[in-house]
């Protein structure tokens, strides 16, 4: 017996097992795949076009499959040279393949589009790449599209905007036999949601103040030192200023909004379907960094015959939070035809959130006394004070409302087509 799953996987490794009929009519099976007790040392196994090691056939797929070879096993018991059995093994090969795309994928350039394989083998097996463990099929087939060859199950179509694509042809080919191939057309409907980020950078958080453990002397008394203050948070960066150019492009089956976005010395041009597509532009101010927490005050030294109990140090002050950055400006230059569809472009140019002030540091404990009242035990003796919390920063200013300018069609088209 042979592992049927390993046979169709064509990985070059096939677990095998033997069933042996004895002279007394009883049956024995080998260890491993056959779940028997007989070890492989009982047998001498020779293989042609493969190797046989402890119940496993090991072959070179590039040799056996590409050259249409069969594997030959010659088996005999080690204690009986008069009995020999021969097995001829033909590794199943794909004879037919069909290719489709996952219809739940987003069908637009620069988006992952999953492909689906269904393969018929010459032994009647049918394997789908999306069912069970059928994903191994992508190790056996190569995808070909847009002049590229890929071994993954996903295609990424280049974005040729401002050129509008109807779709692209995708082919698949069995790597050991070029005649086992298929092709399909992947249509692009551009029902895609894009998000472009031009937000300001967040402010850096302030470092926490250090805890202290040393003393500061006052006469014979050793008081705890004050904790170090937290550092202030950094201010958030301002959102980028954005320029947008829009026009309408028509195809037999749909209408599309053509959008060119320029910000921060970067340009992006995309299409979206007017029914199902949208664009989000984030040019918010960056969040202010949080202030660092104050450090803990040091403890005072205990009372002795020569000195009084020391006071605890005060906690360090929390650092102030950074201010949020201001939102960016957005200007849209559009044709008259595209003007009604600007609602497909969502803008967020709000001011950045304020950074939170750091927490004040914990107070240091007062030094112990030789004689302490119950009230002093309860409330503490000569403790320092908790540090002051830092102030929060200010929220950034929201950017102004989006400005819209209508220009002639040829002017907009010229700007969009200019790299």
Exposure pattern of 150-189 as b/e (b: 16+ CB <10 Å)? Answer: beebebebeeebbeebeebebebbbbbeeebbbebebebb
What span, in angstroms and rounded, lies between the C-alpha atoms of 141 and 124? 19
Tokens of 386: 């908790």
Separation between Cα atoms, residue 23 and residue 25, nearest integer Å: 5
Ordered by start, the domain boundaries in the chain are 4-89, 94-187, 194-417
Cα–Cα distance, 378 to 381 (Å, whole number): 9
The pLDDT assigned to 381 comes to 66
Question: C-alpha 244: how far from its chain's center?
Answer: 29
The bridge status of strand 148-150 relative to strand 113-121 is unpaired
Instruction: Identify the residue whose tokens are 């009883």.
Output: 26
pLDDT at 22: 83
Q: Using alpha carbons, select from 25, 42, 180 the residue that is nearest to residue 117.
A: 180
State residue 416's pLDDT score.
Answer: 94
| E strands present in 309-402 | 330-334, 345-348
Architecture (CATH level 2) of domain 94-187: Sandwich (2.60)
Torsion of CA 395, 400, 402, 404, to 10 degrees: -170
The dihedral over CA atoms of 121, 122, 124, 129, expressed in degrees to the nearest 10, equals: 0
Return the pLDDT at 132. Answer: 84
CA distance 234 to 201: 10
Looking at residue 192, what is its pLDDT?
A: 97
Tokens of 173: 């080919």
Closest of 155, 150, 144 to residue 108, by C-alpha? 155
122: left (phi over 0), alpha (psi -120 to 50) or beta: alpha
Q: Quick one: pLDDT at residue 361?
A: 95
Tens-digit pLDDT string for the chain (419 aa) = 898 889 999 999 999 998 888 888 889 899 888 898 888 888 999 999 999 998 999 999 999 999 999 999 999 888 887 888 999 999 999 999 999 999 999 999 999 999 999 999 999 999 999 988 899 999 999 999 998 888 789 999 999 999 999 999 999 999 999 999 999 999 999 999 999 999 999 999 999 999 987 777 666 678 888 999 999 999 999 999 999 999 999 998 899 999 999 999 999 999 999 999 999 999 999 999 999 999 999 888 877 767 777 888 899 999 999 999 999 999 999 999 999 999 999 999 999 999 999 999 999 888 777 666 655 555 556 888 999 999 999 999 999 999 999 999 999 999 999 88
The residues pairing with 125 across neighbouring beta strands, listed in sequence order, are: none
Radius of gyration of the chain (CA): 38
In contact, 295 and 206? CB cutoff 8 Å:
no
Cα dihedral sign for 23, 24, 26, 31? negative
pLDDT of residue 256: 97
């Amino acid at each position: 017996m042979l592992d049927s799953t390993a046979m169709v996987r064509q990985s070059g490794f096939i677990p095998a097992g033997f069933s042996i009929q004895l002279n007394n009519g009883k049956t024995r099976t080998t260890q491993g795949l056959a779940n028997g007790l007989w070890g492989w040392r009982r047998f001498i196994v020779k293989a042609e076009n493969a190797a046989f090691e402890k119940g496993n056939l090991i072959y070179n797929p590039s040799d056996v499959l590409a050259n249409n070879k069969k594997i030959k096993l010659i088996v005999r018991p080690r204690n009986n040279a008069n009995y020999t059995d021969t097995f001829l093994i033909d590794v199943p090969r794909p004879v037919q393949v069909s290719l489709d795309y996952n219809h739940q994928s987003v069908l637009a350039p620069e988006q992952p589009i999953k492909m689906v394989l269904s393969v018929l083998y010459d032994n009647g097996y049918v394997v789908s790449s999306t069912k069970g463990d059928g994903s191994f099929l992508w190790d056996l087939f190569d995808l070909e599209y847009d002049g590229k060859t890929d071994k993954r199950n996903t295609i990424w179509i280049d974005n040729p905007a401002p050129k509008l694509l109807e779709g692209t042809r995708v082919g698949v080919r069995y790597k050991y036999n070029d005649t086992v191939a298929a092709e399909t057309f992947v249509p692009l409907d551009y029902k895609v949601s894009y998000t472009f980020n031009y937000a300001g950078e967040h402010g850096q958080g302030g470092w926490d103040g250090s805890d202290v453990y040393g003393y500061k002397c006052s006469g014979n008394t050793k008081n705890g030192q004050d904790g170090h203050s937290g550092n202030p948070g950094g201010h958030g960066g301002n959102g980028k200023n954005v320029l947008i150019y829009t026009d309408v492009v028509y195809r037999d089956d749909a209408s599309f909004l053509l959008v060119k976005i320029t910000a921060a010395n970067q340009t992006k041009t995309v299409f979206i379907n007017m029914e199902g597509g949208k664009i989000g532009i984030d040019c918010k101010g960056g969040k202010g960094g949080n202030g660092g927490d104050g450090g803990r005050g040091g403890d005072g030294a205990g009372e002795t015959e020569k000195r009084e109990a020391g006071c605890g140090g005060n906690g360090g002050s929390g650092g102030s939070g950074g201010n949020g950055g201001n939102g960016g400006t957005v200007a849209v230059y559009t044709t008259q035809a595209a003007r009604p569809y600007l609602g497909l472009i969502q803008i967020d140019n709000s001011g950045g959130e304020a950074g939170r002030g750091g927490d004040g540091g914990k107070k240091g404990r007062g030094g112990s006394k030789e004689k302490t009242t119950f009230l002093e035990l309860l409330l503490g003796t000569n403790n320092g004070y908790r540090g002051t919390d830092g102030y929060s920063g200010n929220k950034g200013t929201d950017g102004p409302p989006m400005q819209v300018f209508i220009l002639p069609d040829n002017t907009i088209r010229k700007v969009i087509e200019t790299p």
